[in-house]
Chains A and B, each alone.
Chain A
Amino acid sequence: MLKYAWVCALLLVASLQLAQAWDGATVYFGLAALTGFLALSLTRLVPAGLAGLAVMVLAMTGGFFAAKGASPERDPAWVLLDTVPRLLTAARPAPATPELLVSGLLLIIGVSTATVLSVTKRGTALFVPALGVAVLYVSAALLTTGRADRYGLVALALVVLLSLGWVIIDRRGPVVPPAVLATALAALTLLTFVLPTNGFEPRKLVKPPVTNIAITNPLPQLASWAAQGDAELFRMRGPEVPVRLVTLSRYTGASWEAAATYGPLGVVDPPDLPIGGKFRDASADLRITGLQGEWLPGVGKPQAVSLSNAMVDPDSGSLVLAEGLRTGLSYTVRGVVETPADADLAEAQVPANATRYTALPRLPFTLAEYARQATVNTRTAYEKAVALEQVVRLNRRPDAEAPVGSSYARLETFLFGAEGESGAGAGTAEQFASAFAVLARAVGLPTRVVVGFQPVPEQDGERIVRAADATAWPEVYFSGWGWVPFDPVSGNDSGPSAASKREVLNRLASTTAKPTPTTLASVPPLVQPSAVRPDAAAPAEPGSFPLWVFSPVLVLLVLYVARTSRRLRLRAAGPVGAWNEVLDSLQLAGLRPRPSRTVPDVGRDWGDAGQRLAVLVDEAAFGPRPVRRDDSWQLARQVGKAVRHKASWWRRLVWAVDPRPLFRR
């Protein structure tokens, strides 16, 4: 009994250690650690292998229904398989939701079953518990990146407990060869070197699941927000920073488009263009009071959101709440805000490979020429951006009533339209930002457009963001410094960078002529770009989980059950059954005897047990009276073990599920 108390203590310590990777899962994990004893009680009825299998099947079924309950509309099998990636992409510690708990619980149940069942056998009584505990400990260390056992106290406790086992467990009889133990320990030691738990991040190994969300472009909504004026959208507590709603990276020539695939937040998948060298953390509490749609307002590049179902596009940092915003929704966003100094940007380069942010399908010549003229004397990327900012702003006025749209045609009207033409020289933030972005892209600057809200002054500790605060601004990426916002609406008269920008402009003004609209009226108007095909095929929706992935497992399971029931049948059949078991083993080992060989002849090859078994078998088969009590099954198992020992490793691998004995005649 002492050894069961020992293994129970071991499992509890290891499981509770693993439980720290979840938020409030201690009770579940403690209970799961004890399931091995359920298997132990089952061994009174069925062989140990079958008992373990039964418990695992039970656990899998439980997991199946938990998964089904968690997402009723999806295939539970898929949800179940998805739990590990979900766990690795969830917040840390993971919330104790069924679908996130399932993988951890199954691991514990498996380890517990194997460990408790192994304690009943002398040979594995020390080895398997040590291995199982090591598996649990390493899992915990990986899931918490070493935070669960910062000072190694749990590891120490486990080692002490394990060495107690050395005293408690009866080590007589066959034990695992020291070579195996040494190899296992060496492997574990190596593992701790290869996977330094404080720095290793298993989440990097998982490709986060992505979801396709088709959300309409929010740019045109700027006009309607402008019309709503004082309507309150949300309240915010936090620093005075612009609030970002959505980042638009793709321009089709007709409109801007947001990313279409989103993954859960908490993903460490880095953005395609790295964050700049200087940044600070910004955290804000937000409460939705009127904003609608799926876009979730955030600050900076979001790192964490208190909503577990929020998803993010890692490249742009746009946050999405698939079920939509509702009034009263409160949450906290923590993000990174890049803070490059003006001096840093002056000589900064732009990346050459960011073609995604410079793509302009079928750019009209007029726009390209306009951009070229505007930047004709500029030296650096930053100068180009400042020049374009100025050029777009000059002689144009913000007009909330202006026609919406960001197609080439609308931008041409906005930039070059004749006096009196609707929308000529007038536009909302949409046209200012789009015009800057298109011109900047035309001269090779990686540019994107952000829809968001201007910083608003604080009142009683809260910032009330209203519809009129909605705006859009372009951002240019500078290598090493990240995305830098520009403001072509209000220009560079104010703001932190105003002085340095004016300096740039003064220098340029002496050399640069004001760009004029090109007179090449005969240039074919390439202004009706058709819809551009998505540049990458979106990942297929994994809704219909292919059942065939499970079919090999199912086949193996069926084979195992068939083989086990055959063994049970043979076991009940006395010496003759025992002999058939030996013949099964011989067949599995590829040592099937010729049919003309007699039982004692075959038995002689397998030592004393084989000879004794042969005597019993002959009497049972050819004697005048049935044999009563006998130890033939034990002998058959001894022989079987010897036979198995002789078999090659690959035969041993499929030993329990090889179907050939089922067809032996």
Chain B
Amino acid sequence: MSPAAVLSGLLAVEVPYWASSVIKLGVVALLVPTAALVLGYVFLLKMMSFMQSRLGPMEAGPYGTLQLLADGLKFIQKEDIFPEKADRTVFALAPLVVLISTFLIYVVIPTGPDAVVAQLDVGIFYALAVSSLSVVGILMAGWASANKYALMGGLRAAGQLIAYELPLVLAVMGVVIQAGTLDLQKIVAAQAQGEIFGWDGIGNPFILTQFAGFFIFLVAVQAELTQPPFDMPVAESEIVGGYQVEYTGFRFLFFFMGEFGTAFAFAALAAVLFLGGWALPWGDLEHWAFNIAGPAIMLVKVLAVAALIFWFRFTYPRLREDQLQRMAWKFLIPLSLANIVVTGIFKVAL
């Protein structure tokens, strides 16, 4: 039930438990920065530039592909500055808390029948719970910086993340009701083996029946990432970066990796929940070849969802604080509750 099991199958050697754990940790530890680099380059540097009729970075490597690596090296060389009045321990730990929350989400994302770090019975519930840990890190950063802009940003972030966590969780409920499980692997299987009015040509990706859920999930993810149009907590033009304002060097890099790594993880969760995950609706789901094809299929779907997320990011102007709260409490939450009720009725009636 793990990449190590696949490996041992292919090489015909027995991989002990500790070794498979080390392999899994290594894969996740490599995946998060890579995911952040890919999303940062493809969307933040290139897609945004093209939408604004400019080329973006072109000098570092072919078409500027190495720009973010160069930026990363630059960040690591910078001085590690603590503000004079800062609470040093809390200040130092805050970016780590955010990054750990990101790492923990990757643990349950499946990319093949055996290619998953841990298949949990509570799957999606676990992913949403650990993603909510990042708020603690953001509040720690906002408070420990001893800076009024940082504190303001931290408070705004907390208010926003609490408000949008509800629609995020409630949007997933529709999928869970339809699949009848929280386990991400079984949600993938339910879509691959499902059928639309008896026709099983493309399985039954839940985006068809749960389109409202997909929409709410994407909007809530946008707010959870504090990206435009929901970037009140970091708004450069009024609070100069919010909770990140005092951070420099590799600690700032951690926040950047946390943001884009989480964007990738949420895009992957959306791909699993609504687009069928790593599976194709044809062929045997247990076939070993899916362990190799699965990650590639996943990547295509993740990039498609990420393209949507970043398209919103580059298109819409920032929402005001009151508009932002009204959107969550008076529009998204009632809509997601209605979606749950309707899904429940169909589930019982059909």
A and B: partners?
no
Residues of B that sit less than 8 Å from A by CB: none
